[in-house]
Homo-oligomer: A and B are copies of this chain.
Amino acid sequence: MLYLVGLGLGDERDITLRGLDAVRRCSRVYVEAYTSLLSFGVASDGLSKLEELYGKEVTVADREMVEEKADEILSEARESDVAFLVVGDPFGATTHTDLVVRAKNLGLEVKVIHNASVMNAIGICGLQLYRYGETISIPFFTDTWRPDSFYPKIQNNRRLGLHTLCLLDIRVKEPSFESLCRGKKCYEPPRFMTVNTAIDQLLEVEESRGESAYGADSLCVGIARLGSPDQKIVAGSMKQLLDVDFGPPLHCLIIVGETHPVEEEMLQFYLIK
C-alpha cells in the first residue's frame, strides 16, 4: 500500500490524525524535499521534529530521487506499507500525479490523505475561492529568458472580474550552469521568489506588452508563510507592496479582481493604511 499524506502548511502538527495513523503504520516513510519543505516549520531542525512525532526514520526524497528511484519506492510499497509525505495537499500546487499513476499501473493500492494547501488556505484573505480564475506561475526571469505566457491569463481573469492567484518560483537543487558544462552535478543555493520580485517582473511585462491588463495601481494581496503562526498578509497596490518586506519564504501573490462587499470587509484588515 502506498499512502500519499498531505502535511498541511505550517509545521509538523498540521498533519491530520488519519495521516499520523497511516505514517505510524508504515515501515518506510519518505518526505518530498523538492518543492516547499525548506519553508516548512521543520526546516531548521532538519527532520528531527517529524521523526520524533512519528517515532520512526524519515527519508528525504528530492526530485532526483523520486524520478530515479520511483521503481524502488513502489516495489517497497508492494511488499509493505510506505508513506510519501507532501507539504500541503498531495494534489496541491505541485503534482504527485505521476507517482500515483505509476503505482496504479502496477496494481498497487494508493490511499490519499488530504490536507490544506495554498489553493484553499488563501481563502483567509477574504477573497472568495469560487471567484478565482486560472492560477498562474511566475518563473524567475534570467538575462535571456523572460517568459510572459502568464500575461494573457491574467488579462482573461481580469476581464471576467476574477482574482488571480500567482504561484511564485521555487528553485531548489537546480544544477548550476557551470556544473552542467563540466558534466558533474553541483547545485545552486535554493531560491524563493519574493512578492517584490514577482511584482517587479509583472510590471516589466505590463510595460512591454502595454495592454493594461493591470498596473502599478492594481490592488493585490501579498502573502508569506501562509498557514504558519507567523504568516504575513498585506493588501495594497502593486506599487505599495513593492516596498513591503514579507520576510522568509514561501510567498504568493493575488491580483484582486472585482470585489463584493463581504470580500472588502475582510480585506480591510490587511490593507496598508
Contacts and interface: CB of A to CB of B under 8 A. Distances in A.
Contact of A119 (B13, B90, B120): B120
Contact of A134 (B18, B115, B131): B131
- Tell me how many chains of this kind the complex includes: 2
Interface in A1-23: 6, 8-10, 12-18, 20-21
B160 A130 contact: no
A8 B116 CA distance: 8
A149 interface: no
A9 B114 contact: yes
A133 interface: yes
A123 B91 contact: yes
A14 B265 CA distance: 31
Given A14-B16, A17-B13, A134-B133, A95 B262 contact: yes
A134 B135 contact: no
Nearest to A262: B97
Interface string A109-121: 0001011110111
A219 B210 CA distance: 37
Interface of A: 6, 8-10, 12-18, 20-21, 89-93, 95, 97-98, 100-101, 104, 112, 114-117, 119-121, 123-124, 126, 128-137, 156, 160, 162, 167, 227, 262-263, 265-266, 269
